[in-house]
Amino acid sequence: MKAVLLAAASLIAASATPAAAETVAITNAKLVVGDGAGPVEGGTVVMTNGRIVAAGAGVAAPAGARVIDAQGRWVTPGLVTGFSRLGIVEVDGVAQTNDAAAARSPFNAALDVSPAVNPRTSAVTLNRAEGVTRAVVAPASEGSIFAGQGAIIDLGADMDAVTRPRAFQFVEFGEDGATQAGGSRPAIYAAFRNALAEARDYAAGHRNEDAMLTRLDAAALVPVVNGQMPLLAHVERASDILQALSLKREFPALKLVLVGATEAWTVADRIKAAGVPVIASALADLPASFESLAATQSNIGRLEKAGVTVAIGMINDNDARQARLVKQYAGNLVALGKIPGAAGLDWGAAFATISSKPAEAMGLGGEIGSLRPGRRADVVIWDGDPLELSTAATAVWIDGVEQPMRTRQDKLRDRYRTPAEGSLPKAYER
Amino acid sequence: MFNKTIAIALAAGLAVACTAAQGKPASSDAPRSLPSEDPYPSTYHPYPGMPTLVTNVTIYDGEGGRIDNGQILFADGKVVALGQTVEAPQGATVIDGKGKWVTPGVIDIHSHLGDYPSPAVAALSDGNEATAPVTAQVWAEHSVWPQDPGFSRALTNGGVTTLQILPGSANLFGGRSVILKNVYARTVQGMKFPGAPYGLKMACGENPKRVYGGRRQLPSTRMGNMAVDRQTWAKAAEYRRKWDKYVENGGEPPARDLAMDTLAEVLRGHILVQNHCYRADEMANVIDMSKEFGYHVAAFHHAVEAYKIADLLKENGICAAMWADWWGFKMESYDAITENIPLVQQAGACAIVHSDDENGIQRLNQEAAKALADGRRIGIDIPDEVAWTWLAINPARAMGIDDRTGSLKPGKMADVVLWNGNPLSVYTRPEKVWIDGALMYDALDPKRRPVSDFELGQPGEGDVK
């Protein structure tokens, strides 16, 4: 079975035209739709033209479809990482390969990560092989509270990685923001108000002589102030969260999404009332800074109980490469449910935090993150429970295209399966 | 001291004869000795515990053994007996372990809790004396803040009972490590593992050359790293000779050099080398250097390329302390593979799972589980109970404390975790943790959950973390 899949995968990699038009039905699956429900046995998922047609227990494989018998294995939507720097960094410590931040650029809000996305980044290959199919990719801020415009990408083995360029603006509102703004939180809000005011002026065709933003930066913030582009705001402290929420009174169209939000559980009702989604770190439970004193692994569980839309992101957490860990994180939230006094998630809700919830937080719930009809056909077959530590993805489809699964790491492993050299140096073994 | 010396030498797998310094009584007038070996002695004491019997439980003994549906008894701080059935004294607390697992406490050989504590503010950042490439004179224990909230998370989420706190890796010779019992105390002395040997933190590769090369000083290259290392060892050998000669023959005591004190103790086999080193070729260079100067490396830490030289590590009796899946954050971690740990195990070398991280230390059992599964997927079929050695007896050996902890052998410290399920599953968490037989964490009892001074009175105090 594995050999067949590998052969199929290499054919796909070699073919110039992706086979997205093919109708594929995966039958006999332990099927997870990703909408918060648990798995159903004997499920089928059907995809054609790169989209999901149907998924469920009573679904029949259409005539002419390529039928794949999952033999009872788990089949889920591909994982969506709620916050990452996937595809814009090869080696974090090698500056030339790291496009996350631009310390010496005169621009900030205008910076757009999408041209930097390299689908051949080894982190894309590796995370794809582990079942991650989409990611929210944010720039990092240097010299301004505005980091720039992030993208939603797919992790497919083709050169068209960007699902949605300029999908959001990313801003630092907490301790990091204070540093970037000049040294204090008041400096953040002065910078923010000024920037949005200049964006409004720019949209109205005015530009004052004392404008602080470049034209491009002001232009980039127009869709933010108009509410056409979500504003992802990194905040951790409860008072900073409330401050961010209150900005909606001043800028009513603002489409706010909170990122990090370690202390969110202490003001969950206010977040719920504001209708603002949260992309949080799953397991951050240390007072890593004075803005995260109330850190607990129960943050996400308590937010979910309060009715907040909450997703898992890799915030300051190996964001360029370890998106695959979201499975483990979600599993840990299930485990937490057994500890008295803690708030965990049930399995279905936990899986949603790494599939449909991040999609919904980004306003893309109709497009990605679940196997509901019409969604992009990102599908994974697993050799066990996808949240369990021993499980691996065995086949991955993105936009209906079956993906290659082999990585550079696999080749290194095979080369050194026996460490001693044989009849020729290791350099000849491949 | 004599017994301790021998125990340590044996533990490290060294054929070190007792030196003139330790072996011979001072001959004539005033007693002559080496500079004090233990000027900051441990004041740790075990807390009281009840004789405890856990029944119907799956036991991994930490040395690769397993008992299904078994029983374990500990009392007076020590493991008393384990087996299919065990005779328990009257009045012992009996815990039904049905569906649960018992293991020895997790040991992390590489932690910076206390010297890089939470909150990570500059005022508390005490892990790297990054002012010179050789700072063998510094001792991590003099940086450890015993109020680090991280100790409590390692205990309650990770089942960590013993940990080695290392200086950082900016320097070639970073300084002495300290081994702690994971029990809060007012002072670091109160946490120190009684009688544990010291470690010496060394570092290869990118960090020292980046830190000092960035200041246009030696070392700025890997060859510079090695040159400074070798020169320093040469100096240490000379220092050791002078002191050993003084102890043997008397005369004026040589001038004290704190850095050289530490390195001379390494050369005498009393301090264990814990060497941060990612790349296979650099580990091979260090192995040759250790032979050149007559010391032994206990473990390579962050050994992401251990799989490339697992045979060399076995041959030289050196452990590899590894992550399950960290990779790519810098050039020397680029070739990390998730099968590293099982490949090292399969080669017959000593494999250890370590954290180097205040979050990772909370889930070392999960790191082992991931590595184990990735090994099995390529046909390396290591039993669960053998994988547990990566968290137990193997780090204990590399830290020189395996005669006292690291497994559930009768007579050893009762450092024990009761897991509420299979500890290699993501759905499992520690239910109870005993250290020296004292119940230090109970998931079912909020009163058995430590809160450090720092968190007292803060938002979320006493919350389940």
Site of tokens 């007693």: B31
Contact A148, A169 (CB under 8 A): yes
Average pLDDT over residues A154-170: 98
Are the Cβ atoms of B326 and A94 closer than 8 angstroms?
A: no
> A327 in helix, strand or coil?
helix
pLDDT in tens, A140-153: 999 999 999 999 99
**Which of B152, B337, B445 to mutate to test binding with chain A, by most A CBs within 10 Å of its CB?**
B337
Q: In what order do the strands lie in the sheet with B106-111?
A: B106-111, B160-165, B178-181
**ipTM of this model?**
0.94
pLDDT at A1: 38
CA distance A298 to A305: 10
pLDDT at B25: 46
CA distance A216 to B401: 62
For B89, counting Cβ atoms within 10 Å of its Cβ (0-12 exposed, 13-18 middle, 19+ buried), the class is exposed
CA distance B404 to B77: 11
CA distance A43 to A45: 7
Confidence band for B4, pLDDT divided at 50, 70 and 90: very low
| Phi (first) and psi of residue B261, to 5 degrees | -55, -50
Helices and strands per DSSP (H, E), number in chain A: 12, 16
Interface of B with A in 48-67 (CB under 8 A): none
Average pLDDT over residues B6-19: 38
SS (H, E, C) chain B: CHHHHHHHHHHCCCCCCCCHHHHCCCCCCCCCCCCCCCCCCCCCCCCCCCCEEEEEEEEECCCCCEEEEEEEEEECCEEEEEECCCCCCCCCEEEECCCCEEEECEEEEEECCCCCCCCCCHHHCCCCCCCCCECCCCEHHHCCCCCCCHHHHHHHCCCEEEEEECCCCCCCEEEECEEEECCCCCCCCCCECCCCCCEEEEECCHHHHHHHHCCCCCCCCHHHHHHHHHHHHHHHHHHHHHHHHHHHHCCCCCCCCHHHHHHHHHHCCCCEEEEECCCHHHHHHHHHHHHHHCCCEEEEECCCCHHHCHHHHHHHCCEEEECCCCCCCCHHHCCCCCCHHHHHHHCCCEEEECCCCCCHHHHHHHHHHHHHHHHHHCCCCCCHHHHHHHHCHHHHHHHCCCCCCCCCCCCCECCEEEECCCCCCCCCCEEEEEECCEEEEECCCHHHCCCCHHHCCCCCCCCCC
Per-residue pLDDT at B21 exceeds 70: no
Q: How many residues does chain A have?
A: 430
Peptide bond into B219 cis (omega under 30): yes
pLDDT at B464: 87
Per-residue pLDDT at B462 exceeds 90: no
Our CA-based measurement puts residue B331 at a distance from the nearest CA of chain A, in whole angstroms, of: 6
> A314 in helix, strand or coil?
coil
Per-residue pLDDT at A3 exceeds 60: no
**Which of A127, A389, A406, A407 to mutate to test binding with chain B, by most B CBs within 10 Å of its CB?**
A389
Which residue is closest to A389 within chain B, CA to CA?
A: B370
The rounded percent of chain A whose pLDDT value lies above 90 is 94
Confidence band for B22, pLDDT divided at 50, 70 and 90: very low
Say yes or no: B442 contacts chain A, CB-CB below 8 A. no
Say yes or no: B329 contacts chain A, CB-CB below 8 A. yes
Interface of A with B in 396-415 (CB under 8 A): 409-410, 412-413
Are the Cβ atoms of A287 and B119 closer than 8 angstroms?
A: yes
pLDDT in tens, B402-425: 999 999 999 999 999 999 999 999
Are the Cβ atoms of B426 and A332 closer than 8 angstroms?
A: yes
> A152 in helix, strand or coil?
strand
List chain A residues with CB under 8 Å of B314.
Answer: none
| pTM metric for this prediction | 0.94
- Among A94, A298, A322, the residue with its CB nearest the CB of B331 is A94
pLDDT at A152: 98
Per-residue pLDDT at B18 exceeds 50: no
List chain A residues with CB under 8 Å of B310.
Answer: 419
Average pLDDT over residues B208-212: 98
Site of tokens 């452990």: B319
pLDDT in tens, A244-264: 999 999 999 999 999 999 999
What does the domain layout of chain B look like in residue ranges? 2-42+106-406
Our CA-based measurement puts residue B353 at a distance from the nearest CA of chain A, in whole angstroms, of: 15
Per-residue pLDDT at A2 exceeds 80: no
Say yes or no: B334 contacts chain A, CB-CB below 8 A. yes
Per-residue pLDDT at A12 exceeds 60: no
pLDDT at B30: 63
Are the Cβ atoms of B464 and A391 closer than 8 angstroms?
A: no
Are the Cβ atoms of B362 and A283 closer than 8 angstroms?
A: yes
Average pLDDT over residues B86-92: 94
Task: For chains A and B, count residue pairs whose Cβ atoms are closer than 8 Å.
Answer: 159
Other CB atoms within 10 A of residue A228 CB: 10
Say yes or no: A151 contacts chain B, CB-CB below 8 A. no
**Higher pLDDT among residues A55 and A1, named by residue:** A55
Say yes or no: B326 contacts chain A, CB-CB below 8 A. yes
Average pLDDT over residues A261-285: 98
Per-residue pLDDT at B12 exceeds 60: no
- Among A263, A335, A389, the residue with its CB nearest the CB of B424 is A389
Q: A318 forms bridges with which residues in the sheet?
A: none
pLDDT in tens, A72-115: 999 999 999 999 999 999 999 999 999 999 999 999 999 999 99
- Among B118, B328, B463, the residue with its CB nearest the CB of A286 is B118
CA distance B324 to B371: 5
List chain B residues with CB under 8 Å of A419.
Answer: 307-312, 343, 347
| Domains of chain A, start order | 2-77+387-413 (2.30.40.10), 79-368 (3.20.20.140)
pLDDT in tens, B165-202: 999 999 999 999 999 999 999 999 999 999 999 999 99
Say yes or no: B362 contacts chain A, CB-CB below 8 A. yes
| Mean pLDDT of the residues in chain B | 94
Average pLDDT over residues B308-334: 98
**Which of B322, B329, B445 to mutate to test binding with chain A, by most A CBs within 10 Å of its CB?**
B329
Rounded to 5°, angle at Cα A210 from A205 and A211: 50
Our CA-based measurement puts residue B8 at a distance from the nearest CA of chain A, in whole angstroms, of: 31
Q: A162 forms bridges with which residues in the sheet?
A: A153
- Among B325, B330, B446, the residue with its CB nearest the CB of A91 is B330
Structure tokens at A313: 């992101």
Say yes or no: A417 contacts chain B, CB-CB below 8 A. yes
Are the Cβ atoms of A287 and B149 closer than 8 angstroms?
A: yes
Our CA-based measurement puts residue A250 at a distance from the nearest CA of chain B, in whole angstroms, of: 29
Per-residue pLDDT at A15 exceeds 60: no
pLDDT at A98: 97
- Among B374, B429, B465, the residue with its CB nearest the CB of A335 is B429
> Which CATH number is B2-42+106-406 given?
3.20.20.140
> A179 in helix, strand or coil?
helix
C-alpha of A289 from chain center: 24
- CB environment A44-80: b (16+ within 10 A), e (fewer): bbbbbebbbbbbbeebebeeebeebebeebbbbbbbb
For A429, counting Cβ atoms within 10 Å of its Cβ (0-12 exposed, 13-18 middle, 19+ buried), the class is middle
Say yes or no: B462 contacts chain A, CB-CB below 8 A. no
Per-residue pLDDT at B27 exceeds 70: no
What angle separates helix B206-213 from helix B222-249, to the nearest 10 degrees? 100
pLDDT in tens, A118-132: 999 999 999 999 999
C-alpha of A256 from chain center: 17
CA distance B465 to B460: 9
Our CA-based measurement puts residue B105 at a distance from the nearest CA of chain A, in whole angstroms, of: 20
pLDDT in tens, A185-242: 999 999 999 999 999 999 999 988 899 999 999 999 999 999 999 999 999 999 999 9
Per-residue pLDDT at A9 exceeds 80: no
pLDDT at B376: 98
Say yes or no: A339 contacts chain B, CB-CB below 8 A. yes
- Among A284, A296, A409, the residue with its CB nearest the CB of B463 is A296
CA distance B57 to B54: 7
Contact B276, B171 (CB under 8 A): no
Closest CA to B368 of B347, B394, B330, B333: B394
Our CA-based measurement puts residue A342 at a distance from the nearest CA of chain B, in whole angstroms, of: 6
CA distance A160 to A117: 9
**Which of B206, B325, B433 to mutate to test binding with chain A, by most A CBs within 10 Å of its CB?**
B325
Q: B203 forms bridges with which residues in the sheet?
A: B276
Q: How many residues does chain B have?
A: 465
Are the Cβ atoms of A417 and B378 closer than 8 angstroms?
A: yes
Say yes or no: B381 contacts chain A, CB-CB below 8 A. no
